[in-house]
Structures are given as structure tokens and as C-alpha cells.
Amino acid sequence: MQLPDENIEYQFSRLLAQPHEAWTPLAELQHQHFLPPEKVDEVKQWVTSVRGQVVAERELQNPPQKMRPLQPGFIDLPQKMLDSYKRKLDASDLGKVLRRAQQLRDTVDRVVVLGIGGSYLASKAIFGALCHSHHNELPAKLRMGKPRIYFEGNDLDNDALQDLFELLENTCVDPDIIEERWGVVVASKSGSTLETAATYRAVRGEARKFYGHKNEMLRKVIVPITGKSSKLRDLCLADGFPDDDILTIPDDVGGRFSVFTAVGLLPAAVMGLDVRAMLLGAATMTRRFIEEPFDRNPVLQFATINHLMTERGKTTRVLTSWSRKLEAVGWWYDQLLSESLSKNGRGPTPITTVGTRDLHSRGQQHQDGTRDKLINNLVVKQIKHPPVMVGMSERNEDDLNQFSRKGLPDILEAAIKNTNEAYAEAARPTADITLPMISEHTIGQLLQMLMLATVVEGRLSGTNPYGQPGVEAYKNNMIRALKATPNLPKGEVRDQAKGV
């Protein structure tokens, strides 16, 4: 596989406080809100030793109680997946993912992806970044065998789910025609998350109505992805799925770190994406993390700068994507950061924004509001399509002829540069994650970079990045409350398959 030189980088020089010859109000503000370069130099050695600790954690078979939970499996997973595919082909985990994805693509024209948290946001981020912006609306020929994709099971929105059922009912009438067949990917590591489990029960019921109760087709069009032992696995085994057709999320990979397991890879392969390039990008990032010195290591840089800025009171961490296509990567990072570092009353608050859209909503706050923010820009260097030009107009009522030879990318470039300058002039710290382009390879790098940096940041701040004990409270309360109320529905019940 030939890949262009397309490393992603982190640039943070704009938020370093530069020495000023004379005192000025801006120099004073920058002194307060930017980072002194000496501070970064001072911690390089410490950060490098933390890297050593994170790398060593991969080998711990039986970690001491105080280190638990420990789930570093995601670090080496991309390279391991590629290596075992090379050796075992179809019999490897990646081989199975590719086989099940191909089977689904050959069988159906619509796929409903069920999952929540890490079992949803990864595939949502990949879909947003790498598929056509209007994928589902494209005629089949332009989609080139890639099914339409829908996401469900990530909330409890009754009416939204009924809308999907209505769509399926009206567009999928004959199960003998591929264009009218639909399938399901259900991802849940625990296999017992109520949102996904309840939605799967309903979706499975719809599938049974459509394909017939015992139809062999059901096992072809439903792809379960779950942990080694889970209620979802039990259910699927009871439904007659061969164990080999149930894709497994390894124990040592946590939910929000599971993008390079079948959770992210299977939907990506169904979408027709090059999953090997994605894994290669992720494996490259792991290698850079382990081998490169601080100055060439975007993981260590990102973790350090973000940690130091949080310590300096910049506790709101804004990820501003200057490409709308990366917005869902921001939502994925929101979860990664929140669940990994928000523990024991500490941790930064993530926010995702899209430039320039949100300059017209949050821009005021970023320029002029509370000084609690660090903005990380996500900047894509190379566009995929030819530029949309402003062009000439005969009467020039809108006065845009002065920009007639400029395109949207030129205007965007000016927006990025000048927004950052305006922030710097108000001592508002910003830094850039730069992607040469949006591709499977760069998205693989980016997601792995953010996962690794989050773990390093956790170790720097003394917070265990693995586990999410805080999420259990609402789940327990909800189940207790549901058990305490009569088992009766609210509202009129839709005609659902009985006893599914």
C-alpha cells in the first residue's frame, strides 16, 4: 500500500508568552494567560518519563489494585490487527471484519448502526469525516455498493426511532430485492447498555417482521459486535448466530478507545472505506509516540500543552474544527476527554465548535468572555474538490466583485488566520492540529493521537484515564426507577412483533 507523506502535527507556538521589551497591557495579559516557553522546557523530561510509564503499562499482566482499571490494549491494536491480517488473512480479526462487512454490503442497501458512547461516536466520526456529505441521498450508482447508513440506539428518542421505522416500512417492501433490504450493526461492549439493548430488541422485532421469524437472512443482515461474554452475545447465540459471526471487542480495550476494533472498523468497511489505511495511520502515530523526541511528537506535545493550560485555569477546552466534516470527531473527543479525565471533581470541559459557523454564535464568548478557554483548532490543509469561486457579477450589487477571483478556501484561510490573530491580540490561547488532508490515513492518525494524548494527560494529572465510574450512577438510578414502576407503556403501542 502506497501512502503519501501525510503526517499530522500539533503547533502551539502562538500560545507561548514571548518576551516583550516594554510593559504593555497586552504583554501583561499574555504573561497571565499564555505559557512561558521555559515552563514547557522544564516539563519535557517529566513528560518523556510519563511516556515510558504508559509504554510499560502495556506489558502489565496483573496490575496492582491502585492502577485498575487498566486498558492499554488500544495502543498496539492497530499494528497487531495489520500483522495478524498479513499472517492469517480471512481467519484474522480484520479478515472477519472485512468478510462480515462485505456480506452486509452485498445483501442490503440500508444499514442501521446501533450503539452509544464509544460504540457509536467512533463510527459516527468516521462516517462524517470520510463519507460523502449527502451519502444517504446519493443514488445507488453513485454510492457504488455502499449502503445508506443510519445511527440509532444512542438515546431514548421514541419519535426519532419511529420515524426510522416509518422510513424503512415505506421504502423497504420486498425482502427479495437488494435495494429494499436493510441490515443492522449492533455494537455494545457490555452488551447490556439499556439504550442500545432496548433499541436492538425493537429493531430485531422489525427485522423479524420483514424477513420472517426464522429466516437465515436474519443472521446475514445483523452483525453483532460485543465483549467476550455479554447478554448481547447470549441473545445472538440463542438466535443461532455462529460464534464466529459475532465480532469481539477485546477486554483490554475500553469503550471510548475501541475505534480500531470491530466497533469502528466494521461500519467503516461497510461504508467502503480503506480500513487498512486507517489502521496504518493509527499504527504510525503509536510508533511516533513511542519513538520520537518531544519536539517531533504530537502526542506528547498535545498532552503537555493541554495539561499545562488546564493547570493554568484554562479548564474549558474548545476543539474548533475548520472543516464541518470533522465535527463528529469533536463529539467523539468530547466523550474521550470527559470520561477519561473528569474524575474526583477535576478535569477539563470539552466543547466542539465548527469554524466559521460558530464564530456567529460562540465567537463572542471566545474573544471576549470568561478567560477559562484553550482553543485547539483542527485545520485541514488540502481540500478534496476544486474550489467554489466567488466569481463576477455584472451589476455587483453585493460588492463582491473585489473578491471575484477568490474561492471559499481562500476566504476560509483568511478566517482562520485572522481569527487566531484576533484571539492572540486579546491574549486568548490557541493552537493547531494540522491535517494535510482528510483521508483514512490521517483520520487514523488523528484518533490515535487523541487517545494516546488523553492517556498521557491522565497520567500527568494523576487521574486514571480508564474507566468511567461516574456514568454508573444514572444507569443504576434509572434501572431502579424502572423496576419500581408498573410494567406498562406510556401512550398507544405501535404494532410490534410479539414475543421477540
Q: Which residues bind ligand PA5 (CB under 6 A)?
A: 116-119, 188-190, 193, 196, 254-256, 339, 468, 471
Q: Which is nearer to ligand PA5, 123 or 377 (CB)?
A: 123
Q: How far is the CB of 117 from ligand PA5 (least distance, A)?
A: 3
Tell me if residue 339 is catalytic. yes
Q: How far is the CB of 198 from ligand PA5 (least distance, A)?
A: 12
Rg over alpha carbons for the chain, rounded to the nearest Å, is 24
Q: Which is nearer to ligand PA5, 264 or 429 (CB)?
A: 264
Q: 85 φ, ψ to 5°?
A: -65, -40
Q: How far is CA 126 from CA 35, 102, 120, 122, 439, in A?
A: 33, 18, 10, 6, 10
Q: How far is the CB of 153 from ligand PA5 (least distance, A)?
A: 9
Cell of 280: 496504518
Select from 339, 355, 359 the least CA-distant residue to 347.
Answer: 339
Q: Which is nearer to ligand PA5, 232 or 354 (CB)?
A: 232
Tell me if residue 360 is catalytic. yes
Residue nearest to ligand PA5 (CB): 255
Q: How far is the CB of 269 from ligand PA5 (least distance, A)?
A: 19
Q: How far is the CB of 157 from ligand PA5 (least distance, A)?
A: 17
Give bridge partners of residue 182 from the DSSP assignment: 110
Give bridge partners of residue 349 from the DSSP assignment: 316
The residue from 152, 339, 440, 457 that is catalytic is 339
Select from 479, 348, 429, 369 the least CA-distant residue to 31.
Answer: 429
- What residue type is assigned to position 429 of the chain? P
Q: How far is the CB of 468 from ligand PA5 (least distance, A)?
A: 5
Q: How far is CA 248 from CA 34, 117, 179, 262, 320, in A?
A: 45, 17, 29, 7, 34
Q: Which is nearer to ligand PA5, 259 or 416 (CB)?
A: 259
The helix, strand and coil proportions of the chain, stated in percent and rounded to the nearest 5, come to: 55, 10, 35
Q: Which is nearer to ligand PA5, 369 or 469 (CB)?
A: 469
Neighbours of 216 (CB within 10 A): 10
Q: How far is the CB of 222 from ligand PA5 (least distance, A)?
A: 16
Q: Which is nearer to ligand PA5, 153 or 355 (CB)?
A: 153
Where does 186-293 have alpha helices with state H?
A: 194-211, 217-221, 231-238, 262-270, 275-291
Cell of 185: 450493526
Tell me if residue 132 is catalytic. no
Select from 130, 131, 170, 165 the least CA-distant residue to 148.
Answer: 131
The residue from 20, 213, 417, 475 that is catalytic is 475
Q: Which is nearer to ligand PA5, 256 or 314 (CB)?
A: 256
The per-residue b/e assignment along 157-178, b for 16 or more CB within 10 angstroms, e otherwise, is eeeebeebbeebeeebeebeee
Cell of 307: 495539561
Q: Which is nearer to ligand PA5, 196 or 461 (CB)?
A: 196
Q: How far is the CB of 207 from ligand PA5 (least distance, A)?
A: 20
The residue from 134, 360, 385, 498 that is catalytic is 360
* Residue/partner pairs of 408-416 with CB below 8 Å, 24 or more apart: 409/383, 412/322, 412/355, 412/356, 415/322, 415/355, 415/356, 415/359, 416/322, 416/355, 416/377, 416/379
Select from 378, 369, 357 the least CA-distant residue to 423.
Answer: 369
Q: How far is CA 284 from CA 65, 107, 302, 322, 384, in A?
A: 32, 34, 17, 24, 23
Q: Which residues are catalytic?
A: 339, 360, 475
